[in-house]
Structure 1
């Protein structure tokens, strides 16, 4: 499969939510705690959604979501490329469309990831400097 076998776009109405949910709920190490309703809320409230589709089948094979104030700050989340379609540069193309070719090219971007650091470094991501602080989320799965 080559580069021409894929189409990327940022039309949020085209994103097959069942496919996003299926991947995030079974494959994502970072978000398995979310319910379908929570993922739907995140998709509804996203500033931008970018997706990659396999041209011959129309299947969703890559995805990225961003949250932003629309002016100076954006958060990149839920980036994935499905297993069979990795190794074709789709991760780079998704990030490029989301960040460099989108309305947030001049914004300060942040993300949390446990892997793919090399990919994100290519787009200017680096370890936070002394001006950054993070308050970790407190997930309570048992609310009894």
Structure 2
């Protein structure tokens, strides 16, 4: 049986794997430029999930480390799903010392609300109070 290891060491991340998945396979970051992905990783708290040293999952948290965090880019590769790896990844994220005592921890999901509900995430109490500025074409326009 292989043991899952989860680390917040950015140096261990497989950037080729992350870029391939996020830019080609994800529904939320299709077309993501590599430089944009690298900048997002540099400015976030990141978690890699590894089996025998091979990265099979990822999660990224944007946070001020005091009162707010936003969970994003969470995935486990398709061939490793259904084995509890996403739950282990979520447990590691939520246990991280930098993410304790936060007033608000948010995420957006269209693919796995059942997963996040197990960890206390709920639909926002006042959706009418949330706003966004969304540019769906930002990755497809020339820089």
Question: Do the aligned residues in 1 keep the contact of 2:19 with 2:32 (CA within 8 Å)?
Answer: no
Q: 1:37 is matched with which residue: 35, 38, 42? A: 35
Is 2:7–2:47's contact at 8 Å kept on the other side of the alignment? yes
Output aligned runs, 1:41-80, within 5 Å.
Answer: 41-46=39-44, 48-55=45-52, 58-80=53-75
Deviation at 1:142, TM superposition (A): 4.3
- 1:61 counterpart SS class: strand
The structure carrying a bigger helix percent of its residues is 2
State which of 90, 105, 125 in structure 1 corresponds to 2:85: 90
Q: TM-score scaled by structure 2?
A: 0.88
* 2:100 corresponding residue in structure 1: 105
Q: How many residues align?
A: 139
> C-alpha root-mean-square deviation of aligned residues, in Å?
1.9
Structure 1 pair 142–11 and aligned structure 2 pair: CA distance change class (3 A): closer
1:97-126 CA deviation, whole Å, 9 max, x = no partner? 111344213212101111110100111111
1:74-106 CA-partner distances (Å, limit 9, x unpaired): 000100000111111111111111113442132
Instruction: Return the match for 2:24 from 26, 35, 43.
Output: 26
Structure 1 residues 92 and 102, CA, compared in 2 at 3 Å: closer, same or farther? Answer: farther
Runs of 5+ consecutive residues of structure 2 not aligned to the other structure: none
Does structure 1 residue 9 correspond to structure 2 residue 14? no
Alignment match of 1:114 (pick from 84, 87, 110): 110
Distance 2:18 2:54 in 1: 11
CA–CA separation in structure 2 for the residues paired with 1:109 and 1:29: 22
Which ranges in structure 1 are unaligned for 5 or more consecutive residues?
A: none
